[in-house]
Chains A and B, each alone.
Chain A
Amino acid sequence: MSLFFEQFPIVVNSLNTGFLQTLKLFALTLLGAIPLGLLICFGSMSKILPVKGFFKLLIWLVRGTPLMIQLLIIYYFPGLVLNNPIWGGGEGGRFVASAVAFIINYACYFSEIYRAGIQAIPQGQDEAGLVLGMSRSEIFFKVKLLQMIKRIVPPMSNEVLTLVKDTSLARIIALQEIIWAGQSFLKGSQGISGAIWPLFFTAVYYLVFNGILTVLLSRLEKKLDFFR
């Protein structure tokens, strides 16, 4: 038991550093994927067939393959196949590659949620805007956007909670996020080896963070309850 108390501060310190990396990846993914998803959504709904086709193909590819494979391809393909290691070495390069893979992957999922949200808005809203002389962009931003947001908060909440856990996949390209930090005590790190409890303990971080997010997202849902 005394060994556990000796190990605990060392492990927590290491897990905190790893979780910070997890949080950075999570935040950057959301920051990039939320607007990129809207762009992909508009592309997939475009009346110009080649544009629509391109974005539909992208969505199919991204949703049809494991995120882990996408991470590996995005990280290794430029260096190993094209002889152009654009990401650079080290933790910084791995982080950027992970962020790119996560942003593209999540943007594609978000785009489909946006599309469902937009298409669920009655056509009468467009028509009311049009007869009032509004432009298409005015109708989108002033009339439809908030209605879309209200509709997509529950499915987006699911995706956001999944994203928190999915960040652990970046471990596959050795990004030093929290799972990597937990696992390092198995092989041996900072004088601790053969300890599996740090790996199990990472679950507490995910659980607490997702708990906070759940509360925040349900608050947002309630805030949008003022209209139907």
Chain B
Amino acid sequence: MEILRVEHINKSFEDTSVLKDINFSLNKSEVLSIIGSSGSGKTTLLRCINFLEKPDSGIIRVNGDIIFDGENDEYLKEENIRRNRLHFGLVFQSFNLFPQYTALENVMLAKQLQAKKRPDYKENKKQILADIETHAKGLLDQMGLSDRMENYPHQLSGGQQQRVAIARALALEPDILCFDEPTSALDPELTGEILKVMKELADCKMTMIIVTHEMNFARDVSDKVIFMDDGIVCEEGTPDEVFLNPKQERTRQFLKNYQS
């Protein structure tokens, strides 16, 4: 079942065209990896999907519903953007945890703020907050951080911080979890623990879009791979198609550079 469809997305920064007519789709429970050299537009594409950048044109659909249409300003209203971006979770390269909150509080914060808008919040406040805490603890436990819940971000290793960030993104139960080079700020040892968590999420049938430079991981975990170059989708297919039998010369060149 198709969960995401991106159609004709274009994005420019002043005179520089960064995304040129991007089209792709993703089925529920699939893992899509986006690879490509730095500056190819991978991160900008992810940021457009998460509304951190506004595409100049194009359409984004989730579960068949349009959530962005460059022709219609209605989708740019802040309340619409806020609602629609909750279809996605985003894990950043630099974690971006909130430093003044413990790991557990980081995971709970957004859900607590959302809960305040519930009509039954005042009546069932205790129960609602207890449920949020139980859910958050469960997620941190799943990330192997049950003994680190009360630690502040600066007391955690990079790998632990990134796992908290993953739990924080999962807390809002997004349809699609996006990762923007989640291991680029980590040393090889810590990279392994993040990739392991992501592999487990893939095994649990979490729909994911991963911008990564980890080629082996992308090949092993993905159902679909997109190779981007100079703002276009240069090649798209299964991992075997893209990694073993690339059709485009540019893809071959890129993969060759990676292997050497």
A is bound by B = yes
Q: Chain A: residues with CB nearer than 8 A to chain B?
A: 122, 124-125, 127-128, 130-135, 138, 142-143, 146-147, 150, 226-228
Do B52 and A131 touch (CB < 8 A)?
yes
Do A125 and B85 touch (CB < 8 A)?
no
Do B109 and A132 touch (CB < 8 A)?
yes
Q: Does B243 contact A (CB under 8 A)?
A: no
CA distance in complex: A133, B86 (Å): 6
Closest CB of chain B to A49's CB: distance in Å? 20
Besides A131-B169, A142-B109, A146-B100, 4 more A-B contacts (Cβ < 8 Å) are A131-B90, A133-B86, A133-B172, A150-B100
Do A133 and B82 touch (CB < 8 A)?
yes
B: number of interface residues (CB 8 Å)? 28
Do B85 and A130 touch (CB < 8 A)?
yes
What is the chain B residue whose CB lies nearest that of A121? Answer: B99
Do A138 and B113 touch (CB < 8 A)?
yes
> 16 A-B pairs, CB-CB below 8 angstroms?
A122-B94, A124-B96, A127-B96, A128-B96, A128-B97, A131-B89, A131-B169, A132-B110, A132-B168, A133-B114, A135-B78, A142-B113, A226-B152, A227-B152, A227-B153, A228-B154
Do B52 and A127 touch (CB < 8 A)?
yes
What is the chain B residue whose CB lies nearest that of A146? Answer: B100
Q: Residues of A contacting B110 with CB < 8 Å?
A: 132-134
- What are the 3 closest A-B residue pairs judged by CB atoms, nearest first? A132-B110, A124-B96, A128-B96
CA distance in complex: A150, B97 (Å): 17
Closest CB of chain A to B47's CB: distance in Å? 8
Q: Residues of B contacting A124 with CB < 8 Å?
A: 92, 94, 96
CA distance in complex: A20, B79 (Å): 51
Closest CB of chain A to B210's CB: distance in Å? 16
Q: Residues of B contacting A131 with CB < 8 Å?
A: 50, 52, 85, 88-90, 169
Q: Does B24 contact A (CB under 8 A)?
A: no
Q: Does B98 contact A (CB under 8 A)?
A: yes
What is the chain A residue whose CB lies nearest that of B178? Answer: A131
CA distance in complex: A226, B110 (Å): 21
Q: Residues of A contacting B169 with CB < 8 Å?
A: 131-132
